[in-house]
A and B are shown apart, each in its own frame.
Chain A
Amino acid sequence: MRNGSLFARYAHPPNVLGHCGPVDPAALVTATWGDGGSDELALVARRFAGVWPYLELIAASNGISDPLDDRVAEAYWVGSSLLEGVSTSSLLGCVRAHPDGRLGDPLGHSRLELWVNAGGIANHGFHVLAVYPWLALARSGRREPAISVLERCRIRWGRVERVDSDDVAIRSRRLYLDGQRLALGEERVEQVRCSADDFGFVADLEPGDMVSLHWDRVCDRLHPDALANLQHYTARSLEAVNTEASQD
């Protein structure tokens, strides 16, 4: 598996939906798993303008030359100890300069600096909760579609219950608002899909497998360390963005 494939398996589902990256999702697939070299993939990856600044930051903070190194992508999407190598000040600089920061807070309710200082990390889950407008919208009373978007956009985990061709029943915990506090609710079963645009990443799923999900697509089979990291950094991100709620 060459560098870039871990980045691509999580970037592909929202790309297919048209939420990020090149208009034609085939560009990512071809650059990652086709005959193109690392330069071609880097060009495509840069067009995921929301992701790229974090990959560069995590790589630079940990002395890794390639932002598409799978260790960097894993830290960004799932979470790993590499996140501890990113200083609070450099993370704050990254989110302040981030393209989402320019348009991401229509209500002006974000407490980004507070949340970064409260344990924020250079991770997708934290960005979704802290930088995107949806949490502020949900807390202002416009809970739907805000909570649904947060749920689909964050990287989450689930246990496979049943597999029926491309349809997979997953047991997972979904986000909910308890007053102003965002939390994970009780486990429940939901239907997700194994592929996006007829392109899947995980073969031979079986009941009991633990998997990661992005935009209701299965992205990876999680080994125990990755699952623990995803759970740990999700909890940390929730704690950070609940700082405001705790103080209110």
Chain B
Amino acid sequence: MCMSRLHRVVSAPIGGWVTVEDVEGDEHRVSLLAFEGSQPGPGDWLVVHSGYALQSVDPAEASAITNELRAAQTVER
């Protein structure tokens, strides 16, 4: 089951693809085919689902969400 995840852009997009880093530090290459908005750049936070970046997220909101998700994961473990 695929989940929507927050990823931070690591490097500038190339050819419709961008390298991102998840909250655990693992890097992934995701497609910008479904992305709407201005092209993301390094440091931007993106919502990624099923290998596709969907939209940018405000850094403050990204921080709040990642804290929330980490807290939930801590409770689960």
Contacts and interface: CB of A to CB of B under 8 A. Distances in A.
Contacts of A20: 1-3
Contacts of B24: 23
Contact of A19 (B2, B68, B72, B73): B2
Nearest 6 pairs of A and B residues by beta carbon: A103-B4, A19-B2, A50-B1, A106-B55, A50-B3, A51-B1
Interface stretch (A85-93, A141-149, A169-177, A189-197): A141-149
Contacts of B5: 103
A104 B4 contact: yes
Interface residues of A, number: 31
Contacts of B49: 103-104, 132-134, 149
Contacts of B68: 102
Given A104-B49, A106-B55, A48 B1 contact: yes
Nearest to A106: B55
A64 to B, nearest CB: 20
A186 to B, nearest CB: 25
Interface of A: 11, 14, 17-20, 23, 46, 48-51, 99-100, 102-104, 106, 124, 127, 132-134, 137, 142, 144-146, 149, 152-153
20 contacts: A19-B2, A20-B1, A20-B2, A48-B1, A50-B1, A99-B4, A99-B72, A100-B4, A102-B4, A102-B68, A103-B6, A106-B54, A106-B55, A132-B49, A133-B49, A134-B49, A134-B50, A142-B34, A145-B34, A146-B34
A17 B34 contact: no
> Quick one: which of B1, B26, B47 has the most chain A CB within 10 A?
B1
B28 to A, nearest CB: 6
Interface string B6-47: 100000000000000000101010010110100000000001
Contacts of B26: 23
Given A137-B34, A145-B52, A149-B52, A99 B1 contact: no
Given A102-B65, A102-B68, A104-B49, A19 B54 contact: no
Main secondary structure of the interface of B (DSSP, over half): mixed
Contacts of A51: 1
A142 to B, nearest CB: 6
A18 B49 CA distance: 11
B65 to A, nearest CB: 6
Contacts of A153: 1-2, 50
Contacts of B36: 142
Contact of B2 (A14, A46, A102): A14
A146 B52 CA distance: 10
> Quick one: which of A11, A18, A20, A50 has the most chain B CB within 10 A?
A18
Contacts of A100: 3-4
A127 B1 contact: yes
A161 B24 CA distance: 43
